[in-house]
Amino acid sequence: MIVTSFDDGIDLADRIPAGATVGLIGCAGCASACGTGDTKRLEAVAAALPPDRRILFSVSAEIPCDGRALRLFARSIDRFEEAEFLIVLACEAGARSAGDLAWRRPGGPATVVAPLRTTGFVWRRADGRDLPACLFCTECVVPDRATACPVAGCPVHRRDGPCQERADDRCIVDAASACAWLEHAPAAETAAPGPAGGEREPGFHPLRLPALVAPTPPDAAGCEALAAFLPALSGGTLFLEETGGLPILHIAHLFNGSRSRHGVALGIALHARDKNAVALSADLAAAAALGASAAFLVEFAEVRAGVAPALTTVELARLARRHLGPAAAIVVANRFDHPADRALLLAQRAAGATHAVATGPPPRAPLPAGMALLVRRDAACPADLTAGDLLHRLGPRRGA
Amino acid sequence: MNPPLPPLSDDFFDPRPGVRLLLSGAAAAARGAWEAGVGFALTYPGSPVVETYEALAAPDGPAAARCRVAVNEHVAWHEAFGYALAGGRSLVVMKHVGFHVANDPAHYSAVLGVRGGMVAVVGDDPGATCSTGEFDVRFHALHAHLPVVEPSDVEEARALARAAFELSESEALPVLLVMPSGLCHGVGTAAAGPVDAPRAGLAFRASPDYTSVGGRAVRLRERLFRKIDLLARGERPLPFPVATFLPGDGPDLIVAPSVQLPTVAEWLVRRGLSGRVPVWSPKLTYPLPVAEFARVLAATGARRILCVEPLEGFLEHQIGVWLARRGGPAPELHGKDLVPAAGELSSVRVGAALARFLGLPEEPPSPESGAAPREGTFCPGCSHRAFFHMLRGALRPGDVIGGDIGCSSLPPHHSDWLTCMNSGASIAAGVARAVASATADAAQGSGRAQRVVSLIGDSTLLHGGLQTVLECAQTGSDQLLFVLDNGWTAMTGHQPTPATPDGRDGRTPGAPAVDLRGLLAALGVRDLHELDPFRLRGGRAMIRRLLERAPGFACVIVRRECRLQSTRRARSEPPPPWRERFMIVPERCRACGECYAVLTCPAIDADADGIARIDPLSCSGCGICRDACPNGAIVRLRERSRFAPADPAEPPPPSAAGQAAAGDGPPHPAMAAAPDPFSLILTGLGGQGVLTAGRLLRHALAARKLAGWDNRGGAQRFGHVAAIIRATAEPGAPLSLDIPPGAADALLALEASEALRFLDRAGPRTLVLLDRFVLVPTNVRRARGSHPSADEVAARFRARGAAVALDDFRARAAALSGDARDASLLMIGRLAALTGMPDEAGIERAATARERRVIAAGRAAAGGGWASPV
């Protein structure tokens, strides 16, 4: 439905001169549900008009936004032709339909006064909550429109799938409601494109383990602590993640020598909190020049506060593949808990992801062909580097 | 110059002897019972004798406390019988098929006999105009040995009903007063008789003869045979003339009981045979008054007899037996070889039989009317229409639907059978058992091969359906039973049922209303649900779910009050400030026919391209069509009434109308001479006010002797309705209820195509006033058939030489007074202006001030230049 609010700033008595004849047209649909065009509101508007404005009729019409219906109503409304002013309590579309009709009226044009503001396009759930009905992105993830759009329903409008850092089926932004993606996402089979680039064997993109995702240190002391930890990662991969500290590429450059010395591969932990595709492409290109051979697509903490990512994980995977080359390992996180999780994984794989790390219980079903599973181990890292749950230590799948 | 007739009274309970009461035949029988001091009157409502009870039990009338709508005819008969056993006078009223239900106690009441007077008024229905069958109820008398009395007109209905109580008491037998629907719905005048008070101080006196068992049962039957034999042989005094005899000299004798007497008499007058062919019309038709009949045979020397009877040859059979038993040379006996046994016995069919019997040339065949049969249908806003639309969407081909009696049996209902009361679930129980075994044989797994659904109305459920519910619950009959609870016995005019909520009845204050849900649960129904038929989508989903339930008996109470009743109540309350209207956006309509041909709401019409529109004059505003429309073409408009014009346009005052009427010039050529008898047909659809206008016209013409009849089959339900009105200044002239072919003087049709049903009554002397309004019948809509337009109807009448005025009377009435039903009054005004009938004095006497204003506007129309005959 279309959401409208009453604009108290419009002074009807000021717009409509004394002695004028007035007709009131409300909307029995959306505006009625919003309480802005229903019969009660019409009564209130009629009562608020000074008595020297003569009200000829007051109607609450269904779909006044359809000019054809409005024209039919107008024919059956007694004294429609006599009204000099039409107060239209409907959305922008309804007001424009009425304006069109008023302009072409055989009895001469009437002036339309529309005191409602159109503020949104929502679906009203059974529990009375309003969620955006459509973002007009034109890239429908529910091609048959058979269900509510999960993109519109998600508070951060994720376009790829459910958040993989969630603890359960509830939204990580608004714990009071269920995850829109889990409620409404299409089945994995219908949503995911087929495997891109043919079947690939696990290990084709060697990820050197163990691996650590480390936030970029905020200062020189942090840099020293991280450098001191490199021996412990010997033979593994250090994923650097930019979290507001020193620039990621600067750190990578600083560590290049000691990293090579300890045989630690460079990886880049990517997210799209405050960088768009152009900025991220620059980071990835620079990282590739520094010898980065892996990328880890991570969630950023502000998502929980409702900050929307600029790019999806699928788009990130595609970007990383393009810049890091065909041999790079691209790691994604997955909760392996819901068909929507699998749909996301399939899409990520198609975009270039090679490894998945379980953020919850290990998966019950086998991974998609061409992907390897990583499990999260206990993090053991310098205390002054700790960034809570963003710090991971990855190892090979147990028994693999 | 004939002396002026006694004054006419509208008051059914008028105590003044001699005044003329304008009554239907059914009500006249009630008046007779009232005069006889009936102490207890019972009915189970059924057309055509609904009015017998309704007239007596008028809520504010003096007899209301003596009347009772019983739960069924069986109970009603027993109660009436008990009252008569205790010495009181009791009346029990039922239709012919209701007598089937009461048959068992009827037999025993004859065997035991009564102490007080007991009369059963039973309505027969030749042509099944308001029934599911047209059985001849009189034949039950041959088996039960109950005397049968048959009146031939309205006055006789009153007189014989009164006398039947005396006959019942003198013979200690219940008496059947049998009246066909033609007489029940016939309208005429009856002379009021003195009114006796009901007996007080009644006491039951025990008798061993009240226990019919073993040897005593045989002796009681022997006593019954003796009573009947004495009656037949004329050895018992009758409180009424045993027969009417119209003398003649021919060798041919016509036996014409009941309403066939005036029909035959008028036919003889028209053919110039009056006084030449003898006619015998017995009032006591069982037992055959053989002594009287032997005298008639001897007096006339008849060598040939023709029995003109509706339905089957009841008298023909008795006369044949008697002639054979008498032995010797016997006259030729004709009856059902010439007179049709099935269907209504119209004056045309009687005339054809008489012509053949007497060897006269037959009258030319009637023109084909070309009018499709019109059954009643659900009213706009009817909950049954919504329910059946919901049900249709949930069922699949091959599913079985058992139908039952009541409003729900009207089109566009869906059922695979429809017979008697309680036929739905009972027959379905057998069908369900059969198809269950077929499913098992075919080993089709858990799904049913055929799913069985049955229907029953709330009133029918309480009448006889409870035992079936018990049986189904006990046996786990695999069917889904819908109890269509609209709160009333709606089909017969909204009598209360035991489940009608308190406070809506007006007759049984304080009586507890039956809780249907609790009752069904108590009968053992475990899978029990309730459904609001106006929640179309949710209800359909619920039905779909229940159709796939685990095998067993399930029941759904479909609950919403009859729209007519709730609307009537609403009329007495101040109108709500906002009212709703529905409209079809033509650009959105895809001409799919869902609302017009499937939902078949009478308020929805369609143009030649199939684009539908809602007639605001008929729409009730229920909004079901809006939910049913698959294209979202039906939209709603809520309108604040406060801002509407304060007063509808007032019709011009009578004085101005009179001046305009004076400009009409001479009467139309079709009506140059005031004819006698004056025969008028008023027709239209149920709910258009045909019968109300008919009553007004009869009062306006009451200075003359009146005859005629009403067809009420489709009253209130968009079915065919007509008022046939005949008036003559010659009180002695025979006047049949029906109008002979070509003899109508005026035909007023509030729906143009309904006029076609009376095409054969029209001729060069006929003035036809047609409303342009045409409502295509439900059956034609569903068949996507064609139906004549108003212009085509007018052309057919013009081809018969009639003068036709065609106009949009409904719209004019709505613009004038805000009520489209006033179209009938406008027509009466036009009729008066063009023909002088009815005259000013008659209208002044019959109409209220408001009605006179509208009639005056109709009179003035000639000045306005509309509705002029061509």
Distance (Å) from the alpha carbon of B852 to chain A's nearest alpha carbon: 28
Scanning the structure block, which residue is given the tokens 């018990």? B470
- Is B863 buried (19+), middle (13-18) or exposed (0-12) by CB count in 10 A? middle
Mean pLDDT of B433-448: 68
Nearest by CB to residue B638, choosing from A55, A56, A59, is: A59
pLDDT attached to residue B660: 36
- Winning range, highest mean pLDDT, from A207-211, B104-108, B782-786, B787-791: B104-108
- What DSSP character marks residue B165? H
Report the distance separating Cα B125 and Cα B48, nearest Å: 7
State which residue of chain B sits closest to A63, comparing Cα positions.
Answer: B635
Q: Report the DSSP pairing between strands B604-606 and B527-531.
A: unpaired
Work out whether strand B634-640 and strand B578-584 pair parallel, antiparallel, or are unpaired: antiparallel
Chain B positions touching A42 (Cβ under 8 A) are 640
Nearest Cβ partner of A62 from B635, B643, B645?
B635
Cα B262 from chain centre: 21
Q: What pLDDT is recorded for position B657?
A: 37
Question: Which amino acid, residue A167?
Answer: A
**Phi, psi dihedrals of residue B652, rounded to the nearest 5°:** -60, 150
Q: Which residues pair with B485 in a beta bridge?
A: B559
Q: What is the rounded CA–CA span in Å between residue B382 and residue B555?
A: 21
Q: Tell me which chain A residues have a C-beta less than 8 angstroms from the C-beta of B637.
A: 28, 59-62, 73, 76-77
Q: Which of A287, A274, A346 lies closest to A317 in space, CA to CA?
A: A346
Report the gap between the CA of A64 and the closest CA in chain B (Å). Answer: 10
Distance from CA of A21 to the nearest CA of B (A): 12
- Are B637 and A63 a contacting pair at CB < 8 A? no
**DSSP-assigned letter for residue B36:** T
B638 → closest Cβ in A46, A55, A60: A60
Amino acid found at B749: A
Catalogue the E-assigned strands of B498-642. Answer: 527-531, 554-559, 578-584, 604-606, 612-614, 634-640
Helix (H) or strand (E) holding B314: helix B314-326
Pick the closest to residue B386 from B548, B605, B538, B588 (CA basis).
B538
B637: nearest CB among A43, A61, A79: A61
Measured in angstroms, the CA of A337 and the nearest CA of chain B are apart by 32
Strands (E), B203-251: 243-246
Maximum distance among all Cα pairs of chain B, rounded to whole angstroms: 87
Identity of the residue in B581, B636, B643 whose CB atom sits nearest the CB atom of A55: B643
**CA dihedral sign, ordered B483, B484, B486, B490:** negative
Please tell me what DSSP assigns to residue B233.
T
Structure tokens that stand for B233 in this block: 């042989």
Closest among A233, A288, A289, A284 to A262, alpha carbons compared: A233
Q: What is the pLDDT of residue B597?
A: 92
Q: Which residue in A has a C-alpha nearest to residue B644's C-alpha?
A: A57
Phi, psi at B832, each rounded to 5°: -65, -40
Mean per-residue pLDDT over chain A, rounded: 82
H or E, element range at B140: helix B139-144
A254-286 pLDDT, tens digit each: 778 878 888 888 899 888 888 899 999 998 998
**CA–CA distances in Å: residue A61 to residues A31, A71, A77, B403, B615:** 10, 11, 11, 40, 18
Q: What angle do CA B342, B348, B350 make, to 5 degrees?
A: 60
Split chain A (400 residues) into runs of 10 and give each run's mean pLDDT.
91 92 95 94 94 93 93 89 95 95 88 94 82 81 71 88 89 89 66 42 65 79 79 82 75 79 87 89 90 88 87 94 91 88 90 86 77 65 37 39
Our measurement of the distance from residue B303's CA atom to the centroid of its chain's CA atoms, rounded to an integer in Å, reads 39
The pLDDT value recorded for residue A138 is 79
The rounded distance, in Å, linking the Cα atoms of A13 and B467 is 70
Is B637 close to A66, i.e. CB distance below 8 A? no
The reported pLDDT for the residue numbered B500 is: 85
Which run of H or of E encompasses A344? helix A339-351
Residues of chain B found within 8 Å of residue A58, distances taken between Cβ atoms: 639-640, 642-643
The verdict on a CB contact (< 8 Å) between A62 and B636 is yes
Interaxial angle between packed helices B73-85 and B103-112, expressed in degrees from 0 to 180 and rounded to the nearest 10: 20
The shortest C-alpha distance from B386 to chain A (Å) reads 22
Taking each helix axis as running N to C, give the angle between helix B214-232 and helix B103-112, from 0 to 180 degrees, rounded to the nearest 10.
80
Q: B585 and A61: CB-CB below 8 Å?
A: no
- Flag if A72 and B616 touch (Cβ within 8 Å): no
CB–CB contact A42 B586 (8 Å): no
Crossing angle of helices B260-270 and B347-358, in 10° steps, is 60
Interface residue of A22, A32, A41, A59 to substitute, partner B, most B CBs within 10 Å: A59
Contacts of B640 in chain A (CB under 8 A): 24, 39, 42-43, 46, 57-59
Q: What is the pLDDT of residue A144?
A: 66
DSSP A331: E
Q: What is the pTM of this model?
A: 0.79
Decide if pLDDT at B790 tops 90. yes
Amino acid A264 reads V
pLDDT attached to residue B446: 53
Chain B residue nearest residue A26, CA to CA = B638
Q: Is B635's CB within 8 Å of A68's CB?
A: no
- Report the chain B residue with the minimal C-alpha distance to residue A74: B637
DSSP string, B774-832: ----HHHHHTT-----HHHHHHHHHHTT-EEEEE-HHHHHHHHHS-GGGHHHHHHHHHH
Helix, strand, coil proportions of chain A in percent (round to 5)?
Answer: 35, 20, 45
* Residue keyed to tokens 């994604």: A332
Kindly determine whether residue A28 and residue B578, on different chains, have CB atoms separated by under 8 Å.
no
Q: In this complex, do B643 and A62 lie within 8 Å of one another by their Cβ atoms?
A: no
Of the candidates B616, B637, B640, which has its C-beta nearest A73's C-beta?
B637
Rg (CA), chain B: 28
- DSSP calls for B333-386: EESTTTS-SSS---HHHHHHHHHHHHTPPPPPPPPP--PPP----PPTT-HHHH
Task: Compute the nearest-CA separation of A94 from chain B (Å).
Answer: 14
Q: Read off φ and ψ for residue A380, nearest 5 degrees.
A: -130, 105
Contact between A76 and B586 using a beta-carbon 8 Å cutoff: no
- Provide the token pair at B33: 């019972």
CB contact under 8 A, B644 and A78: yes
Most A CBs within 10 A among B578, B581, B582, B585, hence the mutation to make, goes to: B585
Scanning every residue of chain B, which has its alpha carbon at the shortest distance from the alpha carbon of A56?
B643
Counting residues of chain B whose pLDDT is more than 70, the rounded percentage is: 92
For residue B556, give the nearest of B575, B579, B535 by alpha carbon.
Answer: B535
User: Omega into B838 within 30° of 0, i.e. cis?
Assistant: yes
- Neighbouring CB atoms inside 10 A of B308's CB total 28
The DSSP symbol for A310 reads S
pLDDT per residue over B384-421, tens digit each? 999 999 999 999 999 999 999 888 788 777 789 999 99
Q: How close A160 gets to chain B, by Cα (Å)? A: 34
Measured between CA atoms, how close is A57 to chain B, in angstroms?
Answer: 5
B382: closest CA among B561, B140, B131? B561
Measured distance CA(B205)–CA(B196) in Å, rounded: 24
Is B666 or B4 the better-scoring residue by pLDDT? B4
Q: Collapsing DSSP states into helix, strand and coil, what is residue A390?
A: helix
Question: What residue ranges in B602-718 does DSSP mark as E strands?
Answer: 604-606, 612-614, 634-640, 678-685, 705-711
CA atoms within 13 A on the CB side of A376: 18
B579 contact residues in A (CB cutoff 8 A): none
Whether residue B635 and residue A77 make contact (CB cut-off 8 A), yes or no, is no
Residue A187, pLDDT score: 58
Q: Which of B586, B637, B644 sits opposite A62 (nearest CB)?
A: B637
* Closest by Cβ to B640, choosing from A59, A62, A73: A59
Q: Which residue of B has its CA nearest to A57?
A: B643
B636 to chain A: closest CA residue: A62
CA distance A396 to A329: 14
Q: Between chains, do A60 and B645 touch, taking CB under 8 Å as contact?
A: no
Q: Is some CB atom of chain B closer than 8 A to the CB atom of A97?
A: no
Q: B639 to chain A, minimum CA–CA distance in Å?
A: 4
Beta-strand relationship, B8-9 and B705-711: unpaired
Task: Give rounded-to-5 percent helix, strand, coil for chain B.
Answer: 40, 15, 45
Distance between CA atoms of residues B124 and B644, nearest Å: 50
**Do residues B333 and B320 touch, judged by C-beta distance below 8 A?**
yes
B643/A28 CB distance under 8 A:
no
Which A residues, 55 through 94, put their C-beta within 8 Å of a C-beta on chain B? 55-63, 66, 68-69, 72-73, 76-79
Select from B588, B637, B645 the Cβ nearest to the Cβ of A59: B637
Cβ-defined contact of A60 to B578 (cutoff 8 Å): yes
Lowest mean pLDDT among A125-129, B234-238, B596-600: A125-129
* Top-confidence residue, B544 or B440: B544
Q: Indicate yes or no: CB of A39 within 8 angstroms of CB of B643.
A: no
User: What average pLDDT does this structure show over B695-699?
Assistant: 89
Residue B642 Cα, gap to closest chain A Cα (Å)? 8
Q: In whole numbers, what is the pLDDT of chain B averaged over residues? A: 88
Residue B249 to residue B310: CA distance in whole angstroms: 26
The 10s digit of each residue's pLDDT in B118-127 is 999 999 999 8
Measured between beta carbons, the chain A residues lying within 8 angstroms of B649 are: none
Tell me: the pLDDT tens digits for B160-195?
A: 999 999 999 999 999 999 999 989 988 888 999 999
